[in-house]
Every structure is written in C-alpha cells, then in structure tokens.
Amino acid sequence: MIVAIDGPAGCGKSTVAKRLADQNGWYYLNTGSFYRAFTLSQLDRGGDPLDRDSVLENALKTEISVKDGNICINGVDSENRLHTPEVDKYSSPVSSDPRLREIVNSLVRKLAEGMDIITEGRDTTTVIFPNADYKFYFDATPEERASRRVKEREGVDLEEVLKGIEERDKRDREKEVGALKVADDAIYIDTSTLTIDEVCEKVLCTMHRL
C-alpha cells in the first residue's frame, strides 16, 4: 500500500507522514530528502550546487541509502545535516534538473517495492507514485508556513523566511519536470488552522471512507 502526500514546504507533510507511519507501522519515505542528500554531497565536495552537470556527475558517483529510517550518503548517516540553511537554499534548484529527478524517482520506487509506505514530496502523487492507493495534497498560507518554520528554528527572521517560502513556491510551481500541483484525484486538505492530530485524523478518516 502506498499513501502519498504532496504540498508546498511547511504545510505539515513531514510531521503528519512521520506520525502516521509510527502509528500504523508504515515505512516513512521523504522524497525531498534525496534531493537534499545530493545537494549536501555536492556542497561537501566543494562543488557548485547550481552547476547542473557537476551535480549530476557527482550524483552518479554517490550512493544514497536508508538505514533505520535515516538518509545515508556513501554509507554515512547524514540525516541531521539535511536541513541546514545552505541545503535549504540550494535543494530546490538542484531538484529542478529532470535528469536528477529520474535518478531519485527510480531510487524511491525501488525502495517502495513490496512495502506499506507513506511518502511525501512535491510531486509524489503526480510523478513518482501516480498510482498510489491514497493521494493527499496538503496546503497552508505562506504566512502560516513561515510562522511554523520560525518556531522550529531559533534566530531566523520571519520576513526573510516568508520571502524564501514565496520564492520557493514560485520555483516549484514553474519546474520543467515535477512541478508542484494538485493531482486530479488527490484529497485537498488546508492545514492552516488545524493541529497535527486533526490533520492525521482527517487523513485516516478519508482513507476509511474510500
């Protein structure tokens, strides 16, 4: 069984998916983490994350795996380094390369074979798992998403975070491949005024009705 969740940054995809995975014994698969991992690998080697050919060349030499739910780069657990400001800055442009997206898509599909998973990302329901058993699209206002990010991280400026989110939304919606959009058969959930528990309940109730 595959439960897929799409939506922009900061709408609660990861938190909800992790909680539902824990509660139901599903495997949690965050597709965005793979792009972050390739971004981090490129940064670690001193390469330019905006040089598509260089990123692709490095990606073909880099082994990304999952161990105990954590992303590993060439066998080294790198989960706690995937959400630094620098990786945040470059992961979206890195993920816009259609060639790299094919690599990631193949990788996550292979990982999902024969498993009950809940997965989330910005094109999970439209490109990676178009035949998922259940599809959801989470959304929230940019202001609410920025507020959530500020609460998660100390010392960041709300206006700066909001600007970054709006810029990222624009890039993600205009991507050549894997653009952010609502799948025709996805259930839309606005999380702006909902708690995590309420969103989880909506997802489970919807699944039970379908």
Q: What angle, 0 to 180 degrees and rounded to 10, lies between the N-to-C axes of helices 52-60 and 98-112?
A: 30
DSSP letter for 25, please. Answer: T
Give first-to-last CA distance, the chain, whole Å.
Answer: 14
* Six-digit token string for 114: 């024969």
Could you give the angle at the alpha carbon of 202 between the alpha carbons of 142 and 32, nearest 5°?
50
pLDDT of residue 103: 95
Q: How far apart are CA 102 and CA 82, in angstroms?
A: 20
CA 169 to chain centre: 13
CA 28 to chain centre: 11
pLDDT per residue, tens digit, the chain (210 aa), is: 999 999 998 899 989 999 999 999 998 988 889 999 999 999 999 999 999 999 999 999 999 998 888 899 999 999 999 999 999 999 989 988 999 999 999 999 988 888 899 999 878 999 999 999 999 999 999 999 999 988 888 778 899 999 989 998 888 888 777 788 999 999 999 999 999 999 999 999 999 887
| pTM for the whole structure | 0.78
pLDDT of residue 176: 74
Q: How far apart are CA 77 and CA 115, in angstroms?
A: 22
Name residues whose C-beta falls within 8 Å of residue 127's C-beta, 6 or more positions apart in sequence.
101, 105, 177, 178
Domains within the chain, CATH numbers bracketed: 1-26+117-210 (3.40.50.300), 30-115 (3.40.50.300)
Asked if residues 67 and 77 have their Cβ atoms less than 8 Å apart, the reply is: yes
Where does residue 147 rank: exposed (0-12), middle (13-18), buried (19+ CB within 10 A)? middle
